[in-house]
Structures are given as structure tokens and as C-alpha cells.
Structure 1
Amino acid sequence: MTHFNVDLTNCEQEPIHILGHIQSHGYLVALRPDTYLVVHASANLPDLINQPVADVLGQSIEVLLAQTDLPASTLVELLNVGQRNHSWDTINPQALRINGHPWNLIVHEYNGLLLLEWEPVQEPELVSLNQRLIAEALTEMQSSRQLVELLQNTARRVKTIIGFDRVMVYRFADDWHGQVIAEEKEPHLEPFLGLHYPASDIPRQARELYKINLVRLIADVGSTPAPILSQPGWPDDQPLDLTQSSLRAVSPVHIEYLKNMGVQASMSISLLYRGELWGLMSCHHYSPRFVGYGARQSARFVSQLLSAALEFRKDEEDQAQLLLSRENGKKLHEQLLLDGDIVQALTRRSVTALDLTRATGAVLLFNNKQYPLGQTPGEAAIQGLADWLRTNTTDSIIETSQLPRLYPAAEAFRETGAGILAVVLSRELNEYLIWFKPEQVQQVTWAGNPEKPVTVSDNGQARISPRKSFEAWTELVHNTSESWTETEVSAAVKLREDVLQVVTRQANEIRLLNQRLQAAYEELDAFSYTVSHDLRTPLSSIRCYAEILQEEHGAELNPDAQVLFQKIVDSTDRMRALIRHILFYSRMGRTEINAQPIDMEQLLQTIREEILITEKDRVLTLDIDAAPALHADPVMVRQLFTNLMANAAKYTRSASEGKVVVTGQQTADDVIYSVTDNGIGFDMKGAGKMFDLFKRLENARSFKGTGVGLAIVKRIINRHGGKIWYHSEPNRGAAFFVSFPIDQASVYHD
């Protein structure tokens, strides 16, 4: 097995899942799932089976157990049950006696192999204690407690379950450095509560494994790991993947790290929030200590309860903020419609733009004037920031909690504006709405100097090395504000649409931005219309010639050539679809609106039936709730809802049961429709180019699409004088909202 040297440049690439060793307190065997032949085994296996490893590699289970008193038929039947059920949860762990000694057998299947791990059996008297502690934890987490108290009590219970000297709850920050926020320890130990640890202490690949294996035990830091041996002829470039293994050995760097702390045994329990790593319960013992499978599962269950409690409490907080933000956003919208004066509505009424977020200051830059609210930088500083935004950003939404890192001049006003959330009203006219959050100066106490994570060897090579001193090293953190939440960004997106709708109604024909946009649209229309028409003729010829060759010479072509011809035909189909979308997008800028009453119930049901036919091979429900009528162009409205509903259906394909709901409501001024789904969602912070032509979000790239559909939707809604906005979170679905003014006679844009 090739040794992997961990240095300063490759620490995050260290292959900790294929280190080629296991911890020495257990034994490992890897079998082929079809024949049960042994392909890998740990070098210490003779201690369990009483014969050399070389004698069993490539052999059957009967040979593996020949020198033990465990019948091969017993093990075969266990493996057969697990494979039939396609699950190992029902048999793990399996208590077996081998030559008079009890062992727990743990089985899992990964990368085409069955991994069998034997480890010592936990003391029986601990089981009832663990069950009682779990019941107590469940009762406590169901009650309404402060988060800090909940974390502290959970640390205390986990310490009782596993018997370690110290249990810490370690929370990750946005930059992946961590802080100890709860701790339970033996009285004689120095406290680590409040200490910060740099992100390099837990590199990226280790964090990914913590999301897969929720409990990780290192029983004896000082023990010698057992190498994994492979059957003769096994490729050197295919080492055994121990991602799912309980016995997986430990990175030499991490071993050194623990030794520097004086730790002899370690255990980590993952804490997740919405499937992502929120923190860890990091457990230390100052002498070797093995924790049995039952106690580890108890600790895992407590961590899952805590993860659920974290999500519940966070969701409660998010929901309260979301309701307040929506209420203030609705009030601002009403003020905009009532006043028709952007400045008056956003800065001089009972609810202002400052009330939309948890910012401490905001400023509206409009018509060459500044209108500040709350605590903001000075006028010159704001003008400089606006100039920087115009020349250095292209997104319509900009958010950061560390503005001085992007714009160094902002350090001068970090006390009021270390973080900003800005929406572009007109880049050409330098018009913005900007919210500010102040610097949160905090004293951070590091466990060792975070700026010195490397050592230099005798030959001068720099390498990452765990810090040898864990004495507190303190610094002040500057230039950072509280982070912007998804709710705040979503509210800013909606308010921007509200403002732009009023601006467009007031001065569409004279504003410089709209003049330039109109010219750009006309040039794009002419270009796309000409190019699309010119492309369709040769594209049709390519398809025609390919089909002729298939028909006339198909029998003479080998299978590979036939596949290539079919790919040509399929590619032309995709190209024709893209051209069709471009043409439709182009026509939206020239076609006159033929407004008439639309029976939305009938139109939406027709679209629904078409989508369900195309998605017939999966579980999908598409519900149409209230469907108030519209007075609009039927062709455009049909295209708009076809795009939104088809998108919603497409991005739920990864869900076991896709669900899409379309509903509408009529207010005094608008008809508002929403299309919601339970699909992959997206990050609001990265959605500033949602409606740009040919732009697709990162997590949507695995789904087929042209990047034109939402651009068409945006153009249609603009032509009708309406608005479109959205709200989403990754892996929690998305909601798109469109509104059509009831009095549309004066807002159509031809």
C-alpha cells in the first residue's frame, strides 16, 4: 500500500477513507457478496481464527472458520438474511462466540464488498443504564429549554453513557472554525469551554465523513494499527474503502494532534442541521477506552435527538422572522401602491425599508439623492460604495457579512457597515437599496495560535502539524457582521420587485436604464430571430441526412455507428428545442398583447395533464387549488405557467414522491399565483441571476434544461406589468410567485 505523505499543500486531500489499516481492538474481513470468498483481511485476524491470513485470502467462509468453533453455516445464514432484506440494521450487531470468547459482528456493504467487523462485546450492565439515559434525553428535548442548557445536559448524559473524561459540544462557524459551546468534564481537568479551534483542525474530507458516520471511536491512540492484507493479484490501485467502517484506522496527523493534547481515546458524535454538519460532540479520555456498539448506538441516538431539537428550534426562530418580514414587506408594498412615491413609501412612513431585515441601518439611493435610515456610513462613504457596486458587481442582489474583504475602503466604516445586503434598482443610474449590519467585535480565544498550523522539518519541508501547545491564544476579530439570513435575502428580492414595478409604471419611457434595456432587447430580438432562423435550415438538413443514412445503410452499420447516428438525431432535437425557446423569447419583445379573459381552471388543468403524461414513470402529484381568472394574453400566460409547472415537476424527480401545488388568490389590486414544490430548491444567496438568459444555478446542472425558460417567464410578466419573486432553501423545495395587476389597460408594455 502506497504511503501518503501529508504536507502543507495536500492535507485536505489526505485519503483518510483508504488508509489501509484498522484499529487493533477489532478484526476485519471483506467478502465478495456473491461467492462469500475472502478478498481482504486485517493482519491481526489470526488472533481470532487461529490460522495465518494467507491461508484464508481467496478462500471460502468454511476455510475462514475452519479452526474456530463457530459453524460456517451460522455466518452464511446471517449474511443471506442481510442480503435478502437489503439491510444490515436488523442483524447489527450479532453476538457470536468464537473459541469461548464473545464478539459483536457488525456487517455492512460498500463498493461491491461485504465488510465484516468483529469487536469486543460491551458490558451487559451498561445497557439498562443507557436505555434510561436515552429516555431522559427524549423527555428533556421535548420540553421547552434554552439551547445552551439543552446542549450542556446532553453532554452530561453522553459522558455518563460512554464514561469518558471530557465531552464537549463543538459548533462550526461559516468558515468552518469551531468553538466549544458546552462541556462536561472531570473536576480536575482544565476547561476548554469557549475555546476556538481553526478550520484546519478538521479538514474538509473529515467533515464529509462525519456526515456519513455519525459516531467515530478511536479506542487507543497509542496502539499499533493492523494493516489490511489483500488476496494475491488484487490491484494495488483499488485499496479497500473504509468509509462505512467502525474500525477504520486514524490519520497519523490526527493521532499526533490527540497525543499533543494528552488524549488516549477519542470519540466524535455528529450533530446535523438539515443534513449538513452543524457541530460535533467531541469526547476525550486520558487513558485508552473502548466503547461498545450498544453504547455507541445510544450516543448516536442522543445526537439524532439533539439534531432534531436543533432543527425544530431553528425552524421556530426562522418562522417567526419570516412572518414578521412578510408582514412588513406587505405593508411596504401597500405604501408603494398608495403613495406612488418611492422615497415616501420606503423612508417616511410607519414601516420603512429598515424594518424588513435585522439590519441597524439602510439607505435608499434614488434620483441622485441619499435617504438614510438608522445607523449608516457617511454620505461620501455611501457614494463610494455605490460606485464600487456599479463597477465591480453584476448581480442584482449582493450580500456579504465581510464587506472590507471585498471592498477594503469599507474598513473605515466597519462600525456601521461591516456587512451589507444590497439590491440594484438601476445600475446605470447608480440607484440602490442597501442595508447595513455593524461589525461584531469579539474576542476569540484560540486553543493555540491559529496562524501557526505548520512546522518545518530538518530538510526544510513545510508540513501541517497539530499544534503542540493548547494554551489559549487570544485575538480580536474585526470587519465581520452578523450573517444575512435566507429570509432577509428573500424579503429584499420581493421588495426590489415591488419598487421596480412602481418605477416602471411611473417613468418607463424616459428613464435612462429602460432606454438602454429597450435598445438591448431590440438588438437581442433581431439577433436571436435572425440566427435562429438561419440555424434551423442546416439543422434540419443534418437530421434529414442522418435519418436517410440510418434507413438506407442501417443494416451495414456496426452497433457503435448506429449509436452515433442516433446521438446526432437526439442532438438535433435538443438544438431545435433551444432554438424554439430562443425564438419564443425573442417574440416576447415584439408581439402585441392580445388581452382577453382566461379560464385559469381549464388552462391549468390542461397543462397539468400534459405534465403528468411526460412524468408518468414516477410518483408525482400536481394539485390545482384556487384558480381565479386572468385578463391577459392566453398564449403568453399558457407559456408562463407551462414553464413554471414543468420546472417544479422536473426538480422534484429526486424526491421519492414529487409534489407540486398551484394556487391563486385575488386581492384588490392583483391576481397572485404561486407554484410550490418539494424539490431540490436553491440557495437564495446565489439566485441573483435567476432570470438571466442561459444562466442556470449550480445544483440544477444535473437536470436537462436550456436556461431560457425562466427568462421567458420574466419577460412575459414584465410585458403584463406584473411581478415575479421566489423563496427557497436548498433541499427544501421552492416557491415562485407571479402577480398580474387587475387594472392592466395602462401597464402593458408593447
Structure 2
Amino acid sequence: MTMNNLTNNNGIGVDKNYDSDFCGSIPLHLINLTQPHGMLLVLDSELRIRQISENAADHLGIPAEEFLEKPLAEYVNEAQYEELLAKLELRNQGEKIPFTLSFHTSGEEKQFTALIHTEPAYLLIELEEGANYQSHTITEFFQQIKYATSRLKQTESVESIARVAAEEIKRFTDFDKVLIYQFDKQWNGTVIGQAKEDDMSDFMGLRFPASDIPKQARELYFKSPYRLIPTRDYTPVRLLPVINPLTQRFTDLSDCNLRSVAGVHLEYMANMGIMASMSLPIIIENKLWGIISCHHKTAKNPDFEERNAMELLSSIISSQLAAKERENVISLQLTLRSKHATLLEQLYNSNSFVDGLFHGETNLQELLSLTGAAVSYDGEIKTMGNTPPIQKVKELVSWLRRNSTEQIFYTHHLPHLYPNSKDYKNEASGLIAIPLNTEQGEFILGFREETLQTVNWGGNPDQAIQLEPDGKKYHPRNSFALYQETVKFTSIPWLEEEVAAAETLQNAVMGKIIREKF
């Protein structure tokens, strides 16, 4: 096994992975049930109703069975039907069309907000009853979003963006609590922004294990812009018939807002003490960066306009976070390039590359934020700063020779990979090794000292999933009280920009060596 295969360059708490394969294997897209605050229709290419949620009678006053095999045109306003046909003609498969449909049944007309999904084999329509929305006018929506955007633009850091985002979404929606989670590389989520009522639990700064939002659930955020549960206390609604007659399988409800929720998640909400929730993704460069999570102590169903506004706000927040992260990266890159340019000049003007790295206006330690460094070259080992004893460095070089490739190796938890290094964790819990000649054991080594980290978890992550004796059913943890974990044998992690700077330095040093020899 090569050294690169052994490397784990994720965040703090590296020795455990809480992204449960068990939770991630649940086929959420095949949950063939809906929430009752709306109804679902499945239509064929001729717009005949082939499948319908059983709660149709609650919304339209007619038993669900009576709608089957009937054309949609029989129930909806003619002008709306023609407009729908025109829009369907112009849209591609896989797109969603927001619409308004007025149904005529039992001598009454009832207006619905519709979301139409165009699938290859069928048309799927989600319907929620329209209401006389008085809470916000279009002008008020615009003013509040404009104000929120203005506040976000004045922020100076990722943390301040998260704080303002939570405050503005809470003010706009009146949810009791709004949390901004940021995922780490192992999909644990840390709360970096919070706005809440005084009687709600404080989650600011707490970390939640990846199993709370498993892989399958995370993937669904790319199909649906939000996930709404108006009340956890609901009875799921079946589709009639259960099997889609057009596909002869369960209807895929992946991107349906009405899709029912796994029972374990409703139990999770109950354990948290919340009745309603809504979550929106923060997507940056086509990757799920984090989640906006809204909690309410009682049932709450934001209207269609509010949901659209929240979707827009989540996009604006994502853009602001992306811009701030790019700004931080550019700033770091400029700093590293300036130091590298100085170091490069020293390198080529010095008698040896080691002198150029260790002495001058800047040095290797400053470039890569090291607490110590060593160079193993031409049978000698030279050091600077706080380093392991020379004999220990020699043993480390031998280990690198056996396991490393010609690529740069880096880790912020060396004792987890090389147990012998626990003896000098204070000098070298973090290591970056720049190969010069692996076969000869020639490396530039950068060390980082141990940095003890206290991770504040929202409940014990080792008890995030509680399996029943049958090994099939499971329950979420019932406590989110502060659980502190002290992480040992780790250093400050290496940034991608620092590794890139090390690669550039490697090329420069190799060039210097070639000049010295030839």
C-alpha cells in the first residue's frame, strides 16, 4: 500500500468516520408515500391521471379512485390547461414548471399551487391548496431580500456571513430557530451561524455527526431546492395504485417536495423538541457546502411565495460564501507567492539549497507555517526549529522510503499512520514530506506540533445510531447535550494552497540540485 493510500487529510477527529453506510443505504427516493399537506398526480403522455395520492378526497371532495384514467382536462380551467400544454411543449424533460391550477369538482372551484415535474415516462404534479396570502406583498418580499443581501455584502468573514444569514432568514420567516451548518470533509456538520428564540437549545459551535444527514439525504438536495416538514405529527399518504402503471415500479419521488419522511427522521425531530422543519442546501461549485436548517416548536407551513424567497436567499448566501472563500484563497495565494519568490531568489543565490531554505529574509518555516523542518540529503540531516531528535528523523525517513511515492505526502495526524512518532508528537504530529530522491531517502520534511483540539459535539457521536436487537431497525440519539471530545496526536491541517506551494518549491529545489551537480 502506498503512502498516498494511507493518507487521510480530513478535519479534526480523524480516527472515526460517522458517515454511516447503514443510514446511507436507505433508498429514500423509493419512499412511496407523501405528506398530507398536498396531493400528488401522475399523468401519462396524454395527460390522463394514472396514479393519485389517496388524500384526493380531502382536497377535492371526490374519492381518489374516481380520478383514475380520467383526463386532467376534465377537471381544470380550459385556459390554464391550454397554457400548460404550451409550456410543456417548450420545456425539456427533467425540468420543473411552477403553475396555478383551478380544479372544478363537486360544483366547486378550488385553486392549487402546482409544481410539475416532466419525467421521461410520465408527468408528475404536486398540488398544494392556494391561500389568500396576506403576510407579504411582492414589494415586501423584494424589500426584505434586498435588505438581507445588503447586510450579507457588508460582512467580512465566512462566520459573519453565516450569522447574518441566520438572523435574516429567521426575521423573514419567523421560524423559532435557524442554523447554518458547514460540512467538513467527512460530512460532519458544524453550526457556524444561529438565530433563535431564547427558550430554544443553543447549538452554536456544536458539531453533528454525518449520520444525521446521511449520503442519500445529502444527494437529494441536488434534486430539490428545499425540504419541508410542516408537522412531524402526520399520517403518511399512499399512492393509488401503489405501483406506477406506466413504469411497473414505485414512482421515484426524489425531487418531490411532498415526499414523505423516513420515520427515523421524525423521531429525530421529536428528540430535538421541534414539530416543523425546513432545510435548504448551500451549494458551492456544484458541491454541498452546508445546510440552512429551520426549526419550529409548533406546526408551520410557509406559503409558496415564502419558500421561493427562501430558495432565492439560499442562492444569495451560497454566492456570498463562495465569493468570500475565493477572496480568502486568493489572499493566501498572494502571500505564499510573495514568500516563494523571495525564497526562490535565496535558493539560487546560496551555495547550497539547504542554506537557501533555512537562512535569509524568509525561510521554509515561514512559507509553510512550520514549527520545525529537516532536510535529509547526501547522507546528512540538517534541521531548523522544533524537530524530533536526529535519530528519530532518520527512522522517519526510512519509513517514508518504504511507503512513499515520488508525490508529496502530508498528514496532520502522523501518529495515527506511524505509531512510532507518538514519542515526538509535540514536535511532529503534522508532517509534509517533499521527495527529492525517494530511493536514496532524500526528503525535505516540514513539521507541525501537536495542537490539542476540543470538539464540541451535539450529543455523543458514538451513540448517533442505536440499533435494535434485530440489527435492522434503528433509532436516532435522544440527547443533543454538549459532548466534548479531546482530539490528540493532530496538528493544524494542511491547506491545499500550502501543498501547492510545496509542489512549486519541490520543482525549484530539484532545479537547484541539477545545477549544483552539472
The alignment's TM-score, normalised by the length of structure 2, stands at: 0.88
SS at match of 2:219: helix
Kindly indicate whether residue 98 of structure 2 is the aligned counterpart of residue 92 of structure 1. yes
Correspondence for 2:330 = 319
Instruction: Report deviation, 1:290.
Output: 0.6
Kindly provide the CA deviation profile for residues 399-447 of structure 1, in whole angstroms up to 9, marking residues without a partner as x: 2222222222233333332222221111111111122233332222222
Rounded Cα–Cα distance in structure 2 between residues aligned with 1:311 and 1:442:
27
User: Structure 1 counterpart of 2:86, which letter?
Assistant: N
Q: Residue 483 of structure 1: which of 464, 468, 493 is its match?
A: 493
Which consecutive residues of structure 2, in runs of 5 or more, have no partner in the other structure?
A: 1-19
Rounded Cα–Cα distance in structure 1 between residues aligned with 2:319 and 2:328:
14
SS at match of 1:432: strand
Q: Residue 364 of structure 1: which of 344, 369, 375 is its match?
A: 375
Rounded Cα–Cα distance in structure 2 between residues aligned with 1:59 and 1:97:
13
Kindly provide the CA deviation profile for residues 554-584 of structure 1, in whole angstroms up to 9, marking residues without a partner as x: xxxxxxxxxxxxxxxxxxxxxxxxxxxxxxx
Contact 1:105–1:119 under 8 Å retained in 2: yes
Change (3 A) 1:460 1:81: closer
Correspondence for 2:80 = 74
Rounded Cα–Cα distance in structure 2 between residues aligned with 1:332 and 1:283:
49
Deviates more, 1:227-236 or 1:321-330: 227-236
Deviates more, 1:121-130 or 1:166-175: 121-130
Which consecutive residues of structure 1, in runs of 5 or more, have no partner in the other structure?
A: 1-7, 509-750
Correspondence for 1:13 = 25
Q: Residue 480 of structure 2: which of 454, 470, 494 is its match?
A: 470
Kindly provide the CA deviation profile for residues 385-404 of structure 1, in whole angstroms up to 9, marking residues without a partner as x: 22211112224211222222
Q: Percent identity?
A: 29
Kindly indicate whether residue 459 of structure 2 is the aligned counterpart of residue 448 of structure 1. yes
Kindly provide the CA deviation profile for residues 471-491 of structure 1, in whole angstroms up to 9, marking residues without a partner as x: 222221223333322211111
Correspondence for 1:243 = 254
Rounded Cα–Cα distance in structure 1 between residues aligned with 2:349 and 2:206:
53
Change (3 A) 1:403 1:41: farther
Rounded Cα–Cα distance in structure 2 between residues aligned with 1:230 and 1:411:
63
Contact 1:23–1:226 under 8 Å retained in 2: yes
Change (3 A) 1:269 1:9: closer
Contact 1:169–1:182 under 8 Å retained in 2: yes
Rounded Cα–Cα distance in structure 2 between residues aligned with 1:497 and 1:21:
58
Contact 1:443–1:476 under 8 Å retained in 2: yes
Deviates more, 1:38-47 or 1:91-100: 91-100
Deviates more, 1:249-258 or 1:411-420: 411-420
Q: Residue 115 of structure 2: which of 106, 127, 130 is its match?
A: 106
Count of matched residue positions in the alignment of Structure 1 and Structure 2: 494
Contact 2:467–2:475 under 8 Å retained in 1: no
Rounded Cα–Cα distance in structure 1 between residues aligned with 2:498 and 2:266:
43
Change (3 A) 1:265 1:197: same
Q: Residue 28 of structure 1: which of 25, 29, 40 is its match?
A: 40
- Match runs of 1:301-340 below 5 Å: 301-340=312-351
Contact 2:282–2:290 under 8 Å retained in 1: yes
Rounded Cα–Cα distance in structure 2 between residues aligned with 1:232 and 1:465:
29
Q: Residue 64 of structure 2: which of 53, 56, 65 is its match?
A: 53
Instruction: Report deviation, 1:145.
Output: 3.2
Instruction: Report deviation, 1:462.
Output: 6.1
User: Structure 2 counterpart of 1:23, which letter?
Assistant: Q
Change (3 A) 1:471 1:237: farther
Change (3 A) 1:362 1:39: farther
Kindly provide the CA deviation profile for residues 49-78 of structure 1, in whole angstroms up to 9, marking residues without a partner as x: 443333333442135x2xxxx325523531
Rounded Cα–Cα distance in structure 1 between residues aligned with 2:331 and 2:465:
45
Rounded Cα–Cα distance in structure 2 between residues aligned with 1:340 and 1:379:
23
Change (3 A) 1:367 1:464: farther
Kindly indicate whether residue 225 of structure 2 is the aligned counterpart of residue 219 of structure 1. no
Kindly indicate whether residue 356 of structure 2 is the aligned counterpart of residue 345 of structure 1. yes
SS at match of 1:305: helix
Kindly indicate whether residue 203 of structure 2 is the aligned counterpart of residue 180 of structure 1. no
Correspondence for 1:280 = 291
Contact 1:353–1:362 under 8 Å retained in 2: yes
SS at match of 2:289: strand
Rounded Cα–Cα distance in structure 2 between residues aligned with 1:373 and 1:62:
81
- Match runs of 1:366-515 below 5 Å: 366-457=377-468, 459-461=469-471, 463-507=473-517
SS at match of 2:361: coil
SS at match of 1:465: strand
Root-mean-square deviation (CA), in Å?
A: 2.5
Rounded Cα–Cα distance in structure 2 between residues aligned with 1:231 and 1:144:
50
Contact 2:40–2:126 under 8 Å retained in 1: yes
Kindly indicate whether residue 127 of structure 2 is the aligned counterpart of residue 118 of structure 1. yes
Change (3 A) 1:360 1:59: farther
Highest CA radius of gyration, 1 or 2?
Answer: 1
Change (3 A) 1:227 1:489: same
Change (3 A) 1:273 1:361: farther
Answer 1 or 2: higher relative contact order, Cα 8 Å, separation at least 6: 2
Correspondence for 1:728 = none
The alignment's TM-score, normalised by the length of structure 1, stands at: 0.62
Correspondence for 2:307 = 296
Instruction: Report deviation, 1:85.
Output: 4.2
Change (3 A) 1:140 1:307: same
User: Structure 2 counterpart of 1:491, which letter?
Assistant: A
Rounded Cα–Cα distance in structure 2 between residues aligned with 1:198 and 1:170:
11
Change (3 A) 1:438 1:249: farther
